[in-house]
Amino acid sequence: MKTFAAIAPVLALVAAAVVSAPAFAADLTVEFPTAAPQGQIMVALFGSEANYGGEGQPVRYAMVDAAGGQKSATFEGLPDGDYAVRAFHDLNGDGEMNTNPFGMPTEPYAFSNNAVGNMGPASWDRAKFTATGVAVQSIDLK
């Protein structure tokens, strides 16, 4: 009984650590099956409506080398939760999403869930998805 009394505080700390540890998704893979084999695809992953709306920074970034034959990006070790993706295909390699004089994109772009915006980017509600375990988003650049 004295042994249990001696290790009880340690067991309590271990139990607290396990309970408070965040849940992680194995990974999130974002695929671009229709991407042309040129330039890079710039991918931004957002973890909240505020970030998606421009407050703060994306959770993660990735650059997919479409010219080198890549068509996906994987984000590992994400906490389970809601996310949204914004991506554009930088065809000319200048690192920017090019637009016409009216501000309309001239390079392909897309959002998670293949969501479509109305006179602007797709809304968080349309683009968000839940990532738990292994998650895949297949996005068509347009």
Strand extents, DSSP E, 47-127:
60-65, 72-76, 81-90, 109-111
In this prediction, residue 54 has a pLDDT band, given cuts at 50, 70 and 90, of very high
Q: What is the mean pLDDT of the chain?
A: 87
Angstrom distance (rounded) from CA 131 to CA 112: 12
For the entire predicted model, the pTM comes to 0.81
Q: What digits encode the pLDDT tens for the residues 91-142? A: 999 999 999 999 999 999 999 999 999 888 999 999 999 999 999 999 999 9
- The two beta strands, 40-46 and 60-65, are antiparallel
**Mean pLDDT of the region 35-42:** 97
For 34, 35, 119, the CA distances from 138, given in Å and listed in that order, are 10, 11, 23
Backbone angles phi, psi at 6, to 5 degrees: -75, -35
